[in-house]
Amino acid sequence: MKKLKVLGICASPRSKGNMEYILGRCLEAMRRNGGDEVEIKRYLFRAKKMNPCLDCGGCYLSGECVIRDDFQRLKELWLEADIVVYAVPVYHLGLPGQLKCFIDRLGQSICAAHSDECNGKEETMPKYLKVIAPLTLGIHQVSGQEQTIMQIINHALIMQCLPVSGDAWQCYTGAGGWTQNREEKDAIEKLAGERDFSTLALIKAIETTALRALQLARVVRDGLIACREELAGDAQYRFVLDKHCSD
């Protein structure tokens, strides 16, 4: 059985901050629950250059984004992954600009590169069926966490992927928390050490999200293997069938 590839993306430009901490807790839980079955990589946005989409249409000619920066490497990692964990700080009630630039260019360039493989006529998106897990933090209690999670869920749906959340009561649509107006880069780690109630609920949400993401990825992998003959004639499943069912 092929290993499940996990990509943890820290969308914060800060070094060794709260987002890296919660991403680490999630990946730790995945390693604990998955053992040798999982292969984990992490990608940090800090010090990376991610320019906005130019809407130039160049990707429709070559299948690749014409802007040369750190986008290409993250796109490769995203395509390889079976599970993508997004650890996202809330900026202005939503996604930080660097991550939005990546998502915009990812969707556009992938649609351009693969639509011909699907039906040869219309723009469409292959069934990637990656499990997408959102984690987010705001500085205040109600400061855009749910909106940010919903943006990641919408991204998952557009990319023909599967959003996942942990278990209630701590987690409804994704794991979201707040630093209680503390600006330190290690605020969440300190709050967890102090046994703060809402921070412990966040940690529980992160851990159950990790578990459910692994379980759903197994269902996807094993289901594709079981249904490969039925799906083989549908070009939109070609990418994901090749990924999971090739020798």
DSSP string, 160-203: T-EE----TTT-SSSEEEE-TT---TTHHHHHHHTT-HHHHHHH
pLDDT band at 154 (very low <50, low <70, confident <90, very high): very high
Report the 10 Å Cβ neighbour count for 3: 13
Q: What is the CATH number of the domain that holds 117?
A: 3.40.50.360
Higher pLDDT, 222 or 108: 222
Pairwise CA distance, residues 114 & 124, whole Å: 8
* pLDDT at residue 34 in the model: 96
pLDDT at 155 over 80: yes
The answer to whether the pTM exceeds 0.85 is yes
Phi, psi of 94 (to 5 degrees): -165, -160
Rounded (to 5) percent helix, strand, coil in the chain: 50, 15, 35
Find out whether 209 and 218 touch, Cβ atoms under 8 Å. no
pLDDT at 172 over 70: yes
Which domain, by its residues, includes 178? 4-245
pLDDT in tens, 41-85: 999 999 999 999 999 989 888 878 999 999 999 999 999 999 999
Torsion from C-alpha of 222, 243, 88, 165, nearest 10 degrees: -10
Q: How many domains does the chain have?
A: 1
128 CB contacts (<8 Å, ≥6 apart)? 159, 160, 161, 239, 240
Secondary structure letter of residue 139 according to DSSP: S
